[in-house]
Amino acid sequence: MRNAKLLVRTRVNTALSAVYDYPLTILEAPMGYGKTTAAKKFFEMEKLKPFWFTFPDLEYAETAFWNNFTDEISRMDPQAGLALSSLGIPDDAPQMEKVLSTLAGVTFGTAFFMVLDDYHLVRDLRLNKLFLRLAQEELDGLHVLIITRDTSDIDFVELLSRGLCFIISSQQLKFTELEIRDYCRLMHNDISDADLKKLGEYTDGWISFIYIILLGLKNGIPVGINSTIEEIVEKGLFIPYDRETRDFLLKLSVMADFTAHQAAFVTGNENAGPMLKKLNRENAFVFYNEKTRSYKIHSVLLDYLRLKQDFSIEEFNKLYGRLAEWHLEKQEFLKAYGYWNRSGQTERILSHLNDPKNMRNALIKFTGAEKMFDSTPQEMLFQYPLAYLLYLFHSILTGKQNSVLGWKERLVELQRYYKDLDGIDENYRNRVLAETMIVLKFTYFNHLPVMND
């Protein structure tokens, strides 16, 4: 596996063939989705030699582009190339009109393809205006393909509505289940079906991570985040963000998916909505699902963020507590209980569950319920007898063994406590004793004489 093998993907090549039909095509996806490889493979298969410029992360990159571009134009039309070189990148309306007029006079032939790779590194926004205007002009034979991680600075909406621009997104570029299988068999023909399934679910078609995980599998490393992936995400995606955004992402990672309102409520960041939109536009950690109107963090990136969480116990408890309150408001009690449990708010669970209208067997199945009830002091459990009885009843029915006392002993102790308790409403005392007796009868299942007592 020293050299990655290339899988021919007809589906992606079909999408890229849009470059023939539109003056501007934008290929956008996060790092590692195989944007450049896909474009190169397409032009190679089409036997085309485009003008290709990869923007470096250096000063004067735009000047280098303009020099290369005008040199290319000079090969077709020396006079136009000289004029463009003299004009430079247009920075006002008169200069823009001169550049457009000069290019309009160039005979591009059947098709001239301009590929601008790593366009997210462009610092000079004059280029954005130029390429948007070029698309509006619809010059015969001129087609531009922008390859980028981030479209936030490219105002292509009007062009899109007029049918002058085509977007190829990460959803189209990512490997499908069938392509993942074919690629994995190509690279690692003895991969197990179980690992193949895990790899597909974990990477969700992100080709760079598929490749790295395949290398790990060859060395006995199971599917999941590893040191190489961690380093790539750290340097390429996480560190470039400012401190506020990094902190926001780390707080978001207590959830796998969320709405903008939920993110704002849980993290306490009033700017959550705009930040999520920016993160989504930049094709990095957060992806927006139009159907559910919610955001999601990719599994690989979520694992990375959770590795990097360095919150204090108090900070964790606050986040999980806020998350519990959110789900409580939505009447999603199981989720709320689970997060209250994680934040150590046992009494909030018991109090809520002790309310007669919340006494449903389904609500006792929250994450960590058994451990919570078994580790909670008896004195507290006795303060919330209906919640305690619901747990005991559910445990008896499901045959769970108690590690401290038997179910009968616990029920008898609860019964004795409420018989002897002073200063209690008699109706409430009788209800607790009656329900204790009902549950106690289930401990004598198949012992009819005792059940009938």
Burial class (CB in 10 A: 0-12, 13-18, 19+), 125: exposed
**Contacts of range 426-433, beta carbons closer than 8 Å, 24 or more positions apart:** 432/385, 432/386, 432/389
Q: Tens place of pLDDT for every residue, the chain, 453 residues?
A: 444 567 889 999 999 999 999 999 999 998 889 999 999 999 999 999 999 999 999 999 999 999 999 999 999 999 999 999 999 999 999 999 999 999 999 999 888 999 999 999 999 999 999 999 999 999 999 999 999 998 888 999 999 999 999 999 998 999 999 999 999 988 888 889 999 999 999 999 999 999 999 988 888 899 999 999 999 899 988 998 999 999 999 999 999 899 999 999 999 999 999 999 988 887 678 888 888 899 999 999 999 999 999 999 999 999 999 999 999 999 999 999 999 999 999 999 999 999 988 888 888 889 999 899 989 999 999 999 999 999 988 888 877 665 445 778 888 999 999 998 888 899 999 999 999 898 888 776 544 444 445
Supply the pTM of this predicted model. 0.79
Comparing CA positions, the residue from 303, 286, 315, 154 lying closest to residue 225 is 303
Helix axes 61-76, 78-87, angle to 10 degrees: 160
**Cα end-to-end distance, the chain, whole Å:** 74
Closest Cα to residue 432, out of 450, 420, 445, 447?
420
Phi, psi of 116 (to 5 degrees): -115, 100
Exposure string for 41-53, b = 16+ CB within 10 A, e = fewer:
bbbeebeeebbbb
How far are the Cα atoms of 95, 103, 104, 161 from residue 82, in angstroms, in the given order? 15, 12, 15, 35
Give the three-state DSSP class for 96. helix
